[in-house]
Each structure stands twice: as C-alpha cells, then as structure tokens.
A and B are shown apart, each in its own frame.
Chain A
Amino acid sequence: MSVRFTTREIGSLGKPSWRVKAFAGRPIEEEDVREAERWGKRLEVDGHEELVEGLRAASSNTLLLGNGGLALAAIDDWASRYAIRLLEQAGLDVVYDGEQKRTEMYDHVAAFAHGFEARGTVRSFDNKYYAKAAVVEPPSADGPQDVEELRFVAANTQRRVKVPLTGAYTMEDWSYDEHYAREGALGGSAERRFEARRQFVEDVAERVIRPNVVGLVEAGADWIQIDEPAAATKPDEVPLVVHGFNTALRDVGAAKRSMHICFSDYRALWPSVLELDDCLELQLEFANRDSRELGTRAEDRPGYADTLRLFAEHGYPGVGLGVLDIHSDFVEPAELVRDRILFAVDALGGPERIQVNPDCGLRTRSWDVVYEKLSNMVAGARLAEDVVNAA
C-alpha cells in the first residue's frame, strides 16, 4: 500500500485586520475591505461579497458595525470561514478554523472557567505579550466550552476536523496560583509544592477540560488535540502532564487523541509519555531548531536527529513532525520539507508513525506567508511520498 502523509495545522492563525478592528471598536478602513475582498476571491469563499459589502458600508459609517448592520458574531463567523478555506486551499487533509473565535489559547479557557481572575499583561518575548490570570478557587465550568465552535467548523468543511484544546498542565503552569499554593510557599518543601500543582492540574482536567471533551465527542468530534506547550519545561512534572491528559480524556470515545508540545527540551518527556492513554502522536516543534539547507543526513538535520532518536528508542507514540518554523517569514521550499520528512522516515525506520504539520500555530505570520508555507508543506509531503513509494 502506498504511503500518504496526513497534513494538518496545529491551531491558531492570525486574525484578519477587519476582524481585529471590528472587535476592538476601531474604524474599518478601505484597506481592510480590500483585504477581505482579495482573500475572499483568492480562497473562493462562498458569499464573501456579503462580507465585503457589509465592511464597505461600515467603513463609511461606523454605526453600521454591530448595530443593525454587520454584527460582530457574523464577523466572527466570516473569519472562521476564511480560515477554514485558507487551510483547505493550501491542501491540508485535516483542518479547524485557526481558532478565529478564541482570544488566545490560555485566555480562552481562563475567561470561560470559574475560578480564574485576570491579573494583567506579561511579556512572552520581544514585544509580544499575553494576558495572565490567577486561580483563586478550584476551577470549574458550567458545561462544554467549544461545542458550537466545532459545529460551525464541521458545517463549513468536508475535511476531517481536529479540535485543539489547551491542556490542564499548561493552564496550571501559566496561571498564577493564589489558591493551591497560597499557604506555606516561602521556604516550603518540594513535596508540598508538587502536591499543590498536582491538585491544580487534576481539577482543571476533571472539572473544565473533560466536560468540554465529552460535549465535543457527543457533538461528533473524533480527534481531540491537547495542547501542552508547557509540558517539558519541568522534567519532574511530566507525570502531571500525563495525568492531566488521561484525566481529561478518561472514558471518552474520541477515535483519535494527540498532544502538541513545542519549544522545549523533549528529553524530559520520556519515559513518562509512554503512560499516555491511546495517544496517537506527539506533535512537536522541530523546524525552529533546524538548518535551512537541504539534505537527509543527521548533520543536515540538527533540529530533528536527537528528538527522533527518542521516538525510535521508545517506540511510542507517533510523531507529528513540525516542518515549518512558525516564528520566521522564511518560506520553506517543498524540497526542504521533503528532506525533513525523509530524514524522519529513515530515523524511525519507516513512515508509519509520521504525520506532517507546522511547528506550532501560525498566528504570528501574515496570511500570505502562512498560505505559502502551508502550500509548500503539502507539496513537500507529496515529494516525500514519491520517494518513499518509489523505494
């Protein structure tokens, strides 16, 4: 049987300027309207003329925005449709909506769940920032969070859908703790700190994420991706990452479940990740740390060799191979994508455990760059298949 590598995105895309400005209450300008028109045509978005017309009217009369004219909810829907079409047109096999209806992966959950309070803005890197909240009581949720989002995506694509959800450990690790570790933190024991974090993770997984997963699966989701970018940052706590994953997905019938991790020292993941229940794969960032030169030898692929050795050594789970650097406008040629995949095939002794994706969400790149990168990723996957199938 011939090999075919499944191609997918990881999560977030940048939001169109017209979506950003509409929600920020800033004026829609002619340039925004032209962008909506350009991408609507380029992506062949059904009915995009309606959006363009509404934006154009709003650009000349701001009262028409969300006020009997183009409602914010409708703009959200349009942003979703555009993102889905971008991923489809780039050729991906599995899509979502670039998280167009979410603020940001952490805030999306913290703002929805009970038990979190916003604390302000902190820096992520350079001039990039994010909002951070504190847990002030055991988190909980009134019900599933993302079912309507899934239904909208499923109704607007024929492709397979993968739902990205922020993981319990990352929610814990990125939050301030004003509840679980409130007492006895100064000069306290490592055991006490660990127990506080374990309880926090368990509560988020059981009381916030699991209800969402149950609702999503009931609504038809068959692939849940748990995003744990913080997973490998504290080697001693990788068991907590696993505990959060298994708790959130316990007795849930999703056909596929996977985990995304990025920008970390992956050596910390094993052997704990062997305990992940039915995890199809770890989707990891590799390209960020790789050379941009072509080649399939270990010395050509410094970003891949060490981590793939871990996959090969332990045999579980599969690998979602990050082949696009999401922090650079450099558009990886298809041949470079091909070589990264072929190196992985060689490192793992075959193609069976490999699927293909960007390193992470592409939200910091322009749609022009994203489209070129993803198109080349798909083309590179096809080139790699040609080589593998000819062997």
Chain B
Amino acid sequence: MASLKAYAAGIYPRSEALVQATRDLDRGRTTAEAVDEQRRADLQALVAAQEEAGLDLLTDGLLDWQDLFRPLAERSDGVTARPLTRFLDTNTFYRALLVDGALRLREPVPAPELPAGRWLATLPAPSALGRAARGAASSQAFAADVLAPQIEADAEAGCALVVLVDPFLAREGGVEEAIASLRELPDGVPLVLHLPFGDASGILDALAEAPISAVGVDFYATSLDAVPDGFPKELAAGIIDVRSSALENPDELAAFADTLLERNPAGVALTVNGDLQFVPEPVAREKVLRLGRARALLAEGVTA
C-alpha cells in the first residue's frame, strides 16, 4: 500500500477562553499579554490532541492568524489588507488585498515552536493571493516575491510539508495560471495544493501535471467518481467536513479511504476539507481524534 499519513492543516478554532480573551482585549478589559498566554494554552491543547490522535504531521493551528492572507500581507511591501470580503459561502470574512507597489516579503512569518521535521505550514496558494487581490498583482508575482521566500524560511526551520490553500480555484477556474504560478516556488519541501469547499472534478486532470506532490480534494464537494484511476499524485483526501458539526464515523472514513485507494492514486493522505475554525473548538478537537482513528483503522487494514 502507498504511504499513508494524516494531518489537519489550516486555521484551528479558538477555545471559548481564547474567544473571551480576544473579545476582552477589543473592549479594553484585558492585556495583549493575557491573550498571548491563553493562545499558548490553546496551542498546547491542540498539539496534545494531534498527538493523541496519532497524526503524522503537526500544525500550530494558526491561532493568531486573522485570515488566510493577512499575516503575509502585513509582512510584505506593496500590499495591504483592507476591504472586508465574504469568504465564499461561509459566514466569515477576510480582508481583500490592495496592491500599491512592488511586492516583497519583508520578513517571513515565524516558524511555529514544533519539532523539526514533524510540522506542516499552511499558506495561501499564489493563485488564491492573486484572487484576494482581485487581479491587481499576478499569481506569479505573489509566488516569486512573497511565497517563495516564506517557503524557503519554513524549509530552513524544519517544515515537512507546505499546504497551499486555494479556496477559489475549483469554483472559479484559472487552473493554467495557478499551475504557472506554482512553478515559481522552491522545491525544497513537498507542496500540497489544497482545494477546500469546491468541486475539484473539473481540474484534477490539469493538476496531474502541476509541480506539486499532492492535491487536496474536498470530498464533501467532490464526488468520488470524479477521481480518475491511477492519478499520478498523492490525494490529500478532505474527509473531515469542517463545515458540519456532525461527527464523522471513523469506520466510514476508513472505508471511504479504502475505496479511494482502489483507484490507485500515487498516495492518499487523510485530512480535513478546510479550516477547522468553521466549527467550535470542542467539535474540532473531536474531529481531529476521529481523523486519527480512521488513519489507524486504515493502517491496520480494518475497514467497515
């Protein structure tokens, strides 16, 4: 069987305590230091949950990220994040990017305090940055001048996998430009192009030739029938539905992954179909545990 791993990329939800701390900060009732302390507690709990679940790669949950784009925008010249914009069909928002000069990453987002070789980074795909900027700068420019130095810094800090997220690509098209922009990125660390909340069936064939190691597919928006036999890249199977509070049955997840493996892709990773922040933290924690159980069942060959 092809190598199997499980991980939960993306922004993780804040605990009720961190929610309250950040609300209090906005209202002047607490300090930034107190919020940071709670955030560290949240991180410890998240890492513990991932370890308990037996996930292969760890995330820091991006607990201080306000949205997918802002940390890079705040550390880059030539771009600012301002107009509040609805994020797809979720009741959440991001700040769209305003481009006002040549793009340049001034300083990379710091690496998380996680064991070298065991952590993954989540970043916006270059094509997603281009879309968030409404085309005011090209995806290639974001790739070469913002993402490439960030990925190099992550690689030096022991990053094992970079998950590049593009929530727009499967819905809105532009796969050729997306692939071209991926060619601007360094190849020192494996890259996954993850496509949350979209039906990937129309672009899987094109992505077979993209300079990435894996394609992340949301299987709550994409039919299993859309996966061609012998897909030449690993499929990062989004089998945990981050937009549903319903808890997945690990037996059913493992059985689904088994069926996916019968289509002989280059590999299968079990993961989430988007940011877990779309469910409350206790629900997210349970979903992480169930992802781990599904991975264990699959590894043992015990499926429903």
Binding site for B on A (CB under 8 A): 106, 119-127, 129-130, 132, 134, 173-174, 176-178, 181-182, 185-190, 193, 229-230, 233-234, 237, 263-264, 288-289, 327
The interface residues of chain B lying within 8 Å CB-to-CB of A119 are 245, 279-280, 283
In whole angstroms, how far apart are the Cα atoms of A124 and B90 in the complex? 9
CB–CB B244/A185 < 8 A = yes
* Partner among A130, A177, A327 whose Cβ is within 8 Å of the Cβ of B91: A130
Residue of B86, B243, B278, B281 with most partner-chain A CB within 10 A: B86
In whole angstroms, how far apart are the Cα atoms of A15 and B85 in the complex? 25
CB–CB B89/A124 < 8 A = no
The interface residues of chain B lying within 8 Å CB-to-CB of A263 are 84-86, 93
CB–CB B280/A127 < 8 A = no
CB–CB B256/A230 < 8 A = no
Given contacts A125-B93, A233-B89, contact A176 B245 (CB under 8 A): yes
B231 within 8 A of A: no
The interface residues of chain A lying within 8 Å CB-to-CB of B85 are 263
A174 nearest in chain B by CB position: B91
The interface residues of chain B lying within 8 Å CB-to-CB of A173 are 89, 91
The interface residues of chain B lying within 8 Å CB-to-CB of A189 are 223
CB distance from B208 to the nearest CB of A (A): 20
CB–CB B25/A120 < 8 A = no
CB–CB B256/A186 < 8 A = yes
CB–CB A233/B219 < 8 A = no
Contact with A along B3-43 (1 / 0, CB 8 A): 00000000001101001001101100000000000000000
* Partner among A122, A178, A233, A288 whose Cβ is within 8 Å of the Cβ of B84: A288
The interface residues of chain A lying within 8 Å CB-to-CB of B22 are 127
CB–CB B246/A129 < 8 A = no
B66 within 8 A of A: yes
Given contacts A123-B13, A187-B223, contact A129 B89 (CB under 8 A): no
Residue of B83, B84, B253, B281 with most partner-chain A CB within 10 A: B84
* Partner among B84, B220, B241, B244 whose Cβ is within 8 Å of the Cβ of A125: B84
The interface residues of chain A lying within 8 Å CB-to-CB of B115 are none
The interface residues of chain A lying within 8 Å CB-to-CB of B253 are 186
21 A-B residue pairs with CB within 8 Å = A120-B279, A122-B92, A122-B280, A123-B13, A125-B93, A134-B246, A173-B91, A176-B244, A181-B244, A185-B220, A185-B241, A186-B239, A186-B256, A187-B219, A188-B223, A190-B223, A229-B91, A230-B91, A237-B89, A289-B83, A327-B84
Q: Which 9 A-B pairs have the closest CB atoms?
A: A120-B280, A187-B224, A176-B245, A125-B93, A233-B89, A127-B22, A263-B86, A234-B89, A119-B245
In whole angstroms, how far apart are the Cα atoms of A309 and B280 in the complex? 40
In whole angstroms, how far apart are the Cα atoms of A229 and B270 in the complex? 33
CB–CB B246/A182 < 8 A = yes
In whole angstroms, how far apart are the Cα atoms of A263 and B83 in the complex? 10
In whole angstroms, how far apart are the Cα atoms of A264 and B256 in the complex? 35
B102 within 8 A of A: no
The interface residues of chain B lying within 8 Å CB-to-CB of A185 are 220, 241, 244
Residue of A106, A119, A125, A181 with most partner-chain B CB within 10 A: A125
B277 within 8 A of A: yes
The interface residues of chain B lying within 8 Å CB-to-CB of A190 are 199, 221, 223
The interface residues of chain B lying within 8 Å CB-to-CB of A134 are 245-246
Given contacts A125-B94, A127-B23, A178-B245, contact A288 B83 (CB under 8 A): yes
How many residues on B have C-beta within 8 angstroms of the other chain's C-beta atoms?
A: 47
CB–CB A125/B66 < 8 A = yes
The interface residues of chain B lying within 8 Å CB-to-CB of A126 are 66
* Pair count A-B, CB < 8 A: 107
* Partner among A129, A187, A234 whose Cβ is within 8 Å of the Cβ of B23: A129
The interface residues of chain B lying within 8 Å CB-to-CB of A187 are 219, 222-224, 256, 259
The interface residues of chain A lying within 8 Å CB-to-CB of B89 are 173, 230, 233-234, 237
* Partner among A120, A186, A229 whose Cβ is within 8 Å of the Cβ of B220: A186
A173 nearest in chain B by CB position: B89
The interface residues of chain B lying within 8 Å CB-to-CB of A186 are 219-220, 239, 241, 248, 252-253, 256
Residue of A176, A230, A234 with most partner-chain B CB within 10 A: A176
A262 nearest in chain B by CB position: B86
The interface residues of chain B lying within 8 Å CB-to-CB of A233 are 86, 88-90
Residue of B13, B95, B245 with most partner-chain A CB within 10 A: B245
The interface residues of chain A lying within 8 Å CB-to-CB of B279 are 119-120, 122, 176
Name 11 extra pairs, CB < 8 A, besides A123-B13, A134-B246: A119-B279, A123-B19, A124-B91, A125-B95, A126-B66, A127-B26, A182-B246, A185-B241, A186-B220, A233-B90, A288-B84
In whole angstroms, how far apart are the Cα atoms of A134 and B244 in the complex? 8
Residue of B88, B95, B244 with most partner-chain A CB within 10 A: B244
Contact with A along B173-188 (1 / 0, CB 8 A): 0000000000000000
The interface residues of chain B lying within 8 Å CB-to-CB of A264 are 86
In whole angstroms, how far apart are the Cα atoms of A177 and B89 in the complex? 14
In whole angstroms, how far apart are the Cα atoms of A174 and B243 in the complex? 10
Given contacts A182-B246, A185-B241, contact A122 B278 (CB under 8 A): yes
B255 nearest in chain A by CB position: A186
* Partner among B91, B223, B280 whose Cβ is within 8 Å of the Cβ of A121: B280
B95 nearest in chain A by CB position: A125
The interface residues of chain A lying within 8 Å CB-to-CB of B66 are 125-126
B282 within 8 A of A: yes
A134 nearest in chain B by CB position: B245
In whole angstroms, how far apart are the Cα atoms of A174 and B90 in the complex? 7
Query: Within residues 228 to 253 of chain B, which ones have a CB less than 8 A from any CB in chain A?
Result: 239, 241, 243-246, 248, 252-253
CB distance from B241 to the nearest CB of A (A): 7
The interface residues of chain A lying within 8 Å CB-to-CB of B83 are 288-289
B77 within 8 A of A: no
Residue of A106, A121, A327 with most partner-chain B CB within 10 A: A121
Query: Within residues 44 to 87 of chain B, which ones have a CB less than 8 A from any CB in chain A?
Result: 66-67, 83-86
In whole angstroms, how far apart are the Cα atoms of A127 and B26 in the complex? 8
Contact with A along B185-227 (1 / 0, CB 8 A): 0000000000000010000000000000000000111111000
B134 nearest in chain A by CB position: A289
CB distance from A115 to the nearest CB of B (A): 14
In whole angstroms, how far apart are the Cα atoms of A173 and B89 in the complex? 7
